[in-house]
Structure 1
Amino acid sequence: MADDSYEKTEEPTPKKLDDARKKGQVARSRELSTALVLIFSAIAFLFVGSYIASAMFNVMQRSFMLSRDETYDKVHMFQILEMSVTESAWPVMMFMIISLIGGIYGSIALGGYNFTWKSAAPKGNRLSPVQGFKRMFGTNALVELLKGIAKVLVIGGMAYIALIIFEDEALHLDMELYPLNLFHALNMIEWAFLILCLGMIPIALIDVPYQSHKHNEEMKMTMQEVKDERKNAEGDPQVKGRIRKLQYQAAANRMMQDVPEADVIVTNPTHFSVALKYEQDGNRAPVMVAKGADELAMHIRKIANAHEVPIIESPMLARAIFYSTEPNEEIPSKLFMAVAQVLAYVYQLKAYKNGKASRPKPLKKNLPIPPELRR
């Protein structure tokens, strides 16, 4: 059987995608970029094309109407140059800005903005004849060939549609007055250009999901790579388990040091033990100074017996405190009444042993514990 751990079947992790992005490996679609540049340029041509044509018409008309004296006057020639630049600068700049926006947005529409020098670094595999042969006759080359054929067919079809739409107008341009026929021809060219550019939309709509899928397939990981990445990110599970065990032991040792100072130990009686301490002169509620389950619970009881700390059996209260409170935290306010009864019983019992009070009544088994805290 083949080893599945070395087949790229796993989706790329966020770390893998982030590392690839830093290397410049992001999904890109040249067809989308080309389509947006052309469409933005066509739209800009529709809006400012007439202004550019008017500016060029005025410049050419003025330039071809120079008198003999003006051609020898250097000052006048500079004035003509200034007029030419002033006439054409604004509409040409507007066209260039809109086209530039389309080019920038087309480059980052798929994959987002990403700048890195690593993608520009020379790569030895690009000079390899074997790799070049694979690029020429691989799947990607076949896809590029199919896209090229599709572009020829689609753009050719859009050109045919544009010819049909403007055929009658184009044939009657010679019957229109000059210079209106020039501007009419320009208007037809603008719309024909837009129609041709719209032909790139279906190509881009096919190429974008293909490039995204291709990038995702290239980024896929083997099961072993996922395990190695998780191990590097989180650490060796055995080491982490050892660290957690040491941390637990250190925390348990700190808790055990506080058990002799507790006022009472509330037990399950065998599975859980919690040590409570209440400073009557302080402003804090009773504090749970230590807790443990199973072996640690037995250890707490041994320490309590050694230091004569009272042990009270109250399974429901022990479980409620164990699950709702962490060491050195005050008990929840909803358990104040139940803990107060336990502490009162302990103080009365201590006074009875010292001969200062009568024997207290046995502690109630059903202490007031809210249903949401019962375990």
Structure 2
Amino acid sequence: MAEDQDQSDKTEDPTQRRLDEALKRGDVVKSQEVSTWFVIGGGTLALTMFAGPTSSALTATMKGLIAKSWEIPTDGRMLVRLTQTLTLEVLAAVGLPFLMLAVAALAGTALQHRLVWSTEGLTPKLSKVSPLAGFKRLFSKQAIVNFVKGLLKVALIGTVLAMLLWPERDRLEALVSTDPAAILPLSLTLVLKLLGAVVAILAVIAGADYLFQYQEWYQRQKMTLKEIKDEFKETEGDPKIKAKIRQIRVSRMRKRMMAAVPGATVVITNPTHYAIALKYERGMNAPVCLAKGVDRIALKIREVATEHSVPVIENPPLARTLYATVEIDQEIPPEHYKAVAEVVGYVMRLKKAWR
């Protein structure tokens, strides 16, 4: 019941990290029907391509062995040599067909997922020997699907094979009195015909089974909201900690900014919503922004400037423009030189007149 509840809570699509971890564990999409189809298809192809050459090579080997059997020495050394010779000839005859079967088996796995080397499947687990877990697996959704799939395969393949063999019943009865040399070509033709039908049926079953296995695998990888949040904390950091760090950085920046206001040449205000503290000295390329802020921070900048006798000039358009275009410790853009020069010049003239 708890397991069903856990599965119902997994409503979120898996992240890429979750899918990568599943791959490392060896939990991948795998349809046995697809692998079976590749093996049978490879065997059918190998039989079509190599049945004639293989049978001819094996026939020649057996003929030579039987025809000269009375000449073959039976001592130990010659018997070993004969065994080696026969083994090499048989391997040469059946090597390519078996190689094709091996490639087909690997292709059936490789096309479903990347090749995975994982030892987790070999790790002893209590659930593998638990009678209760075994009983659940026996009547699980996967077991029911496999049972229905087996019945479907037997019914379909049996029906199709019966339909193919029924028109050949008279010819099959006549094989009893047929020359053995003529039986092999007829048998090969009939076997290839039956295998072709089996491959066609299994192709449909394998495709449907792969879609089902993929859906089941994807459902297993789904995550709960808590798992999504926990993974985000592991990869991106705890949002609360990040917010605290960001708050500390902003606080330090404001303190440094306020400490620089007393050294400003002028503070340009909106007058209530924006405040920009600029510094300009002879030899500088352009005025530099020491501090800027809106609302409460702007009020604090004006207060610090007033306490330290820094001129505060009201110029709403210029204040809003500079706030949007200039960052702290950066020079003002060239397009604002003229407007700022007028303000700085005005401040310089006030200071000169005051002196």
Q: Classify the TM-score, shorter chain.
A: 0.7 to 0.9
Q: Is the 8 A contact 1:265 1:301 kept in 2?
A: yes
Alignment RMSD (CA, Å):
3.6
- Percent of residue pairs bearing the same amino acid type: 31
Distance 1:292 1:181, change over 3 A: same
For 1:362, the equivalent position in structure 2 comes to: none
Q: Which amino acid in the other structure matches residue 11 of structure 1?
A: D
**1:147, CA displacement in angstroms?**
0.7
- Which of 19, 44, 57 is the aligned partner of 1:42? 44
Q: Which amino acid in the other structure matches residue 329 of structure 2?
A: N
Q: Is the 8 A contact 1:174 1:181 kept in 2?
A: no
User: Residues of 2 paired with 1:338 and 1:100: CA distance?
Assistant: 76
For 2:261, the equivalent position in structure 1 comes to: 259
**1:4, CA displacement in angstroms?**
10
User: Residues of 1 paired with 2:342 and 2:170: CA distance?
Assistant: 106
- Which of 239, 243, 246 is the aligned partner of 1:244? 246
For 1:204, the equivalent position in structure 2 comes to: 206
- Indicate the larger mover: 221-230 or 241-250: 221-230
Distance 1:218 1:67, change over 3 A: closer
- Which of 213, 216, 233 is the aligned partner of 2:215? 213
Q: Which amino acid in the other structure matches residue 347 of structure 2?
A: L
For 1:361, the equivalent position in structure 2 comes to: none
1:118-197 map, 5 Å: 118-163=120-165, 182-183=184-185, 185-197=187-199
For 1:304, the equivalent position in structure 2 comes to: 305
**1:149, CA displacement in angstroms?**
0.6
Q: Which amino acid in the other structure matches residue 223 of structure 1?
A: L
Relative to its length, the structure with more helix (as a share) is 2
Q: Which amino acid in the other structure matches residue 31 of structure 2?
A: S
**1:123, CA displacement in angstroms?**
1.0
User: Residues of 1 paired with 2:72 and 2:287: CA distance?
Assistant: 105
**1:54, CA displacement in angstroms?**
2.2
- Indicate the larger mover: 109-118 or 66-75: 66-75
For 1:328, the equivalent position in structure 2 comes to: 329
User: Residues of 1 paired with 2:27 and 2:98: CA distance?
Assistant: 30
3-state SS in 2 of match to 1:199 = helix
Q: Which amino acid in the other structure matches residue 245 of structure 2?
A: I
Query: Which whole-Å deviations, capped at 9, do the CAs of 1:63-113 have from their partners, x for residues lacking one?
Result: 222153344588887776666455443453322232222222322433433
**1:232, CA displacement in angstroms?**
4.6
Q: Which amino acid in the other structure matches residue 142 of structure 2?
A: N
Contiguous gaps of at least 5 residues in structure 2: none
For 1:291, the equivalent position in structure 2 comes to: 292
User: Residues of 1 paired with 2:291 and 2:185: CA distance?
Assistant: 91
Q: Which amino acid in the other structure matches residue 337 of structure 1?
A: E
Q: Is the 8 A contact 1:39 1:198 kept in 2?
A: no
**1:350, CA displacement in angstroms?**
0.2
3-state SS in 2 of match to 1:10 = coil
For 1:89, the equivalent position in structure 2 comes to: 91
- Which of 3, 10, 21 is the aligned partner of 1:19? 21
For 1:318, the equivalent position in structure 2 comes to: 319
Structure 2 length-normalised TM: 0.81
3-state SS in 2 of match to 1:274 = strand
User: Residues of 2 paired with 1:277 and 1:40: CA distance?
Assistant: 81
User: Residues of 2 paired with 1:116 and 1:91: CA distance?
Assistant: 36
- Indicate the larger mover: 61-70 or 234-243: 234-243
Query: Which whole-Å deviations, capped at 9, do the CAs of 1:296-343 have from their partners, x for residues lacking one?
Result: 122222233334444343434433443444323444xxx422243213
Q: Is the 8 A contact 1:260 1:303 kept in 2?
A: yes
Distance 1:141 1:69, change over 3 A: closer
For 1:343, the equivalent position in structure 2 comes to: 341
User: Residues of 2 paired with 1:54 and 1:275: CA distance?
Assistant: 98
For 1:354, the equivalent position in structure 2 comes to: 352
- Indicate the larger mover: 138-147 or 300-309: 300-309
Q: Which amino acid in the other structure matches residue 302 of structure 2?
A: R
Q: Which amino acid in the other structure matches residue 319 of structure 2?
A: A
Distance 1:280 1:135, change over 3 A: same
User: Residues of 2 paired with 1:147 and 1:351: CA distance?
Assistant: 95
**1:145, CA displacement in angstroms?**
0.9
User: Residues of 2 paired with 1:107 and 1:352: CA distance?
Assistant: 85
User: Residues of 1 paired with 2:290 and 2:60: CA distance?
Assistant: 93
For 1:369, the equivalent position in structure 2 comes to: none
**1:245, CA displacement in angstroms?**
1.3
**1:154, CA displacement in angstroms?**
2.2
Q: Which amino acid in the other structure matches residue 95 of structure 1?
A: P
User: Residues of 1 paired with 2:76 and 2:7: CA distance?
Assistant: 80
Query: Which whole-Å deviations, capped at 9, do the CAs of 1:153-193 have from their partners, x for residues lacking one?
Result: 22223423543687687678799988576345335434432
Contiguous gaps of at least 5 residues in structure 1: 357-375
Q: Which amino acid in the other structure matches residue 338 of structure 2?
A: A
Q: Which amino acid in the other structure matches residue 289 of structure 1?
A: L
Distance 1:204 1:325, change over 3 A: farther
Q: Is the 8 A contact 2:46 2:100 kept in 1?
A: yes
User: Residues of 2 paired with 1:260 and 1:250: CA distance?
Assistant: 17
Q: Which amino acid in the other structure matches residue 103 of structure 2?
A: I
User: Residues of 2 paired with 1:262 and 1:24: CA distance?
Assistant: 65
User: Residues of 1 paired with 2:217 and 2:51: CA distance?
Assistant: 39
User: Residues of 1 paired with 2:352 and 2:343: CA distance?
Assistant: 14
